[in-house]
C-alpha cells in the first residue's frame, strides 16, 4: 500500500468521531461488514441526496426503489447465474482460499495450489419455511436488474418518451472472495445506479454525455479522478463498452464508478426469459424497438471513502477534514463560550434559527480550542462562537474551518453570511 499510514489514521478518526464502526464489534466483528455511525450516516445520506438530486432534477430522469430479492429467473436472464464468477483456488500448504490473480498463493507465496474453479458471487437464501431448490432465491448483486424488469411499468405509468432514465439507490450483495480496504470492497454495499434508455443510433452520443455529467458531479463534490477505459477482454458480460472513473486511494488508483454501454443486452434477455415484450413504441415513427441502455453505477461506500481520503489533511497543529460544505455532516457548530444562562439562551436561539436550513451541532463544554479541533476533525465548515460581548453588541465570532480566520458578525446578518457561504 502506497500510504498505509493515511488509511490507518483515517480509520482511527472515523471510529473515534462516529463515522464508521466494525460491525457486531462486541462479538469480535464480522469480516468486511461495517456500521455507519451518527456522523457517517449523516454524511452518507448527504451523498445519496446529492446524487439523487443531481439525477432527478432532470425532467427525463425518474426514480425507483425495487426489492432486493427478485424472481430467481432474473439472474438467469441477466447472465449472473452463469457468468458472475471469480476464479477460486486453495493453497495446499497454508490452506488459505483466495481469488486467483497470479500463479501462486498471495498468503504464503507457495505455488502448490489447486486448479482454479469458478465461484459464483451471488448470495443465496431460501424464500419461506422450506429449504429446497424450488425456494432458492438470491440477494441482488446489482440494483440495475430491478430497473430493467420495471422498464415498461415506469415508462407507461409516467408517460415517458425515450430518451429517459431511471435512477435507484439501494443495497447490493456480493460474496467477494477477497473483500478489502475497509468499506472499499465489502460483501454488502450501497449502489447508486441510473439506467438511461436511448434509441440505438443515439447510444454512443449518450455514452459520452453521461461520462461528462458524472465528471461534473464528482468535481462539484471536490474530487479529482482519472478515466480508465475497458479493453474488450476486460468488459463485463453485458457491456459493449465501458469506462471506469478511478480515484487515487491510499493504496493505489482504483475503481470508483463505472459507466457502461449495455446495448440491448438486458432488455432482450428479459424478453426472452419472461416471454413478455419489453419494447418501446415510438409514437412519432410508429415503430416498436428495444432501446439501448447507458448505465452509470457508483458504490455509495466507495464514494464515502474517496471523499474522506481526499478531505483528510494533517496540518502542523491539527487534523482537518476539508469536506465540501454541501455534504459535511455538520455544517455549522454553535459554541457557547460559557454555561451562563444568558449566553446559553442566546446560543440556543441562534441554533434554532440556523437549524431550519443547515445541519447544526451545539456544544457548550470544554475549552474552545478543543472544541474547534473536534469540529475540524469532523469537517464542520463554520463555527459560531457566542461570548459575553455577544450579549452587549449582538455580534458573534464566525470561524472558517479552512483558513481558521475569525470574523465578528452581527447575529442579524448570519443568514445572509451563510447563504453566500454554502
Ligand atoms: N450494474 C453495474 C455494476 O454493478 P460494477 O462495476 O460491478 O457494475 C459498480 O459495480 C460499482 O459498484 C463499482 O464501481 C463500485 O463503486 C461499486 N461496487 C462494486 N462491487 C463492490 C463491492 N464489493 N463493495 C463496494 N462497492 C462495490
Compute the distance between CA of residue 350 and CA of residue 358 in angstroms, rounded to an integer.
Answer: 12
Contacts of residue 348, defined as CB under 8 A and 6 or more positions apart, other chains included, come to 362
Mean of all residue pLDDT scores within the chain:
96
Alpha carbons 365 and 383: distance in angstroms, whole number: 14
Could you tell me which of 280, 317, 311, 304 has the C-alpha nearest to residue 380? 311
pLDDT tens digits, 57-67:
999 999 999 99
Pocket flag, ligand 1, residue 144 (CB < 6 Å): yes
1 versus 419: the higher-pLDDT residue is 419
pLDDT > 90? residue 167: yes
Distance CA 86, CA 58 (A): 37
Please work out whether the CB of residue 258 comes within 6 Å of at least one atom of ligand 1: yes
238 CB near ligand 1 (under 6 Å): no
d(CA 75, CA 146): 11
Q: Report whether 168 contacts 105 (CB < 8 A).
A: no
Q: Which atom of ligand 1 is nearest to the CA of 185?
A: 24
What pTM, to 2 d.p., does this model score?
0.95
Ligand 1 proximity of 191 Cβ (cutoff 6 Å): yes
pLDDT at 238: 86
Q: Quick one: which atom of ligand 1 is closest to the CA of 244?
A: 14
Cβ–ligand 1 contact at 300 (below 6 Å): no
* Helices 38-56 + 203-220 axis angle, to 10: 140
Residue 189 CA to ligand 1 centre (angstroms): 8
Ligand 1 near 296 CB (within 6 A): no
Q: Which domains does the chain have, with CATH numbers?
A: 4-69+141-309 (3.30.930.10), 330-421 (3.40.50.800)
Distance (Å) from CA 212 to ligand 1 centroid: 20
Percentage of the chain lying above the pLDDT 70 cut: 100
Beta carbons within 8 Å of 407's beta carbon, 6+ residues apart: 397, 398, 399, 400
Q: Which residues pair with 90 in a beta bridge?
A: 97
Please name the residues in contact with 126: beta carbons below 8 A apart, sequence gap of 6 or more. 132, 135, 136, 137
46 Cα–ligand 1 center, Å? 20
Position 134 scores a pLDDT of 86
pLDDT over 90 (residue 112): yes
* CA pair distance 36, 328, nearest whole angstrom: 15
Q: How far is the CA of 183 from the centre of ligand 1 (A)?
A: 12
- Assess whether the C-beta atom of 193 lies below 6 angstroms from ligand 1: yes
Is residue 101 very low, low, confident or very high in pLDDT (cuts 50, 70, 90)? Answer: confident
Amino acid at each position: 500500500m502506497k500510504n498505509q499510514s493515511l488509511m490507518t489514521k483515517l480509520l482511527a478518526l472515523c471510529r473515534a468521531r462516529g463515522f464508521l464502526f466494525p460491525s457486531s464489534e462486541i462479538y469480535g466483528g464480522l469480516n468486511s461488514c461495517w456500521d455507519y455511525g451518527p456522523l457517517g450516516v449523516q454524511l452518507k445520506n448527504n451523498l445519496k441526496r446529492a446524487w439523487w438530486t443531481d439525477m432527478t432534477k432532470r425532467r427525463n430522469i425518474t426514480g425507483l426503489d425495487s426489492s432486493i430479492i427478485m424472481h430467481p429467473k432474473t439472474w438467469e436472464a441477466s447472465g449472473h447465474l452463469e457468468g458472475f464468477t471469480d476464479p477460486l483456488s486453495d493453497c495446499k500448504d497454508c490452506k488459505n482460499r483466495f481469488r486467483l490473480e497470479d500463479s501462486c498463493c498471495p498468503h504464503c507465496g507457495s505455488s502448490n495450489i489447486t486448479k482454479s474453479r469458478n465461484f459464483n458471487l451471488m448470495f443465496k437464501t431460501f424464500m419461506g419455511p422450506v429449504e429446497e431448490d424450488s425456494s432458492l432465491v438470491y440477494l441482488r448483486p446489482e440494483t440495475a436488474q430491478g430497473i430493467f424488469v420495471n422498464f415498461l411499468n415506469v415508462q407507461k405509468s409516467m408517460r415517458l418518451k425515450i430518451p429517459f432514465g431511471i435512477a435507484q439507490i439501494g443495497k447490493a450483495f456480493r460474496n467477494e472472495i477477497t473483500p478489502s480496504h475497509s468499506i472499499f470492497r465489502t460483501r454488502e454495499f450501497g449502489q447508486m445506479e441510473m439506467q438511461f434508455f436511448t434509441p440505438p443510433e443515439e447510444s454512443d452520443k449518450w455514452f459520452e454525455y453521461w461520462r461528462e455529467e458524472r465528471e461534473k458531479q464528482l468535481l462539484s463534490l471536490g474530487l479529482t479522478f482519472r478515466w480508465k477505459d475497458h479493453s474488450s477482454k476486460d468488459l463485463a458480460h453485458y457491456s459493449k463498452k465501458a469506462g471506469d472513473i478511478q480515484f487515487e486511494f491510499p493504496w493505489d488508483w482504483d475503481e470508483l464508478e463505472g459507466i457502461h454501454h449495455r446495448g440491448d443486452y438486458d432488455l432482450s434477455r428479459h424478453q426472452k426469459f419472461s416471454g413478455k415484450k419489453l419494447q418501446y413504441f415510438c409514437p412519432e415513427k410508429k415503430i416498436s424497438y428495444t432501446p439501448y441502455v447507458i448505465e452509470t453505477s457508483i458504490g455509495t461506500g466507495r464514494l464515502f471513502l474517496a471523499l474522506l481520503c481526499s478531505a483528510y489533511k494533517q496540518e502542523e497543529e491539527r487534523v482537518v477534514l476539508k469536506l465540501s460544505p454541501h455534504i459535511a455532516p455538520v455544517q455549522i457548530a454553535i459554541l457557547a463560550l460559557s454555561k451562563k444562562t444568558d449566553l446559553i439562551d442566546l446560543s440556543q436561539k441562534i441554533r434554532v434559527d440556523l437549524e431550519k436550513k443547515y445541519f447544526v451541532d451545539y456544544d457548550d463544554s470544554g475549552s474552545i480550542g478543543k472544541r474547534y479541533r473536534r469540529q475540524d476533525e469532523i469537517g464542520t465548515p463554520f463555527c459560531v462562537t457566542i461570548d459575553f460581548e455577544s450579549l452587549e453588541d449582538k455580534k458573534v465570532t464566525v470561524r472558517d474551518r479552512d483558513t481558521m480566520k475569525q470574523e465578528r458578525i452581527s447575529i442579524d446578518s448570519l443568514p445572509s453570511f451563510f447563504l453566500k457561504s454554502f
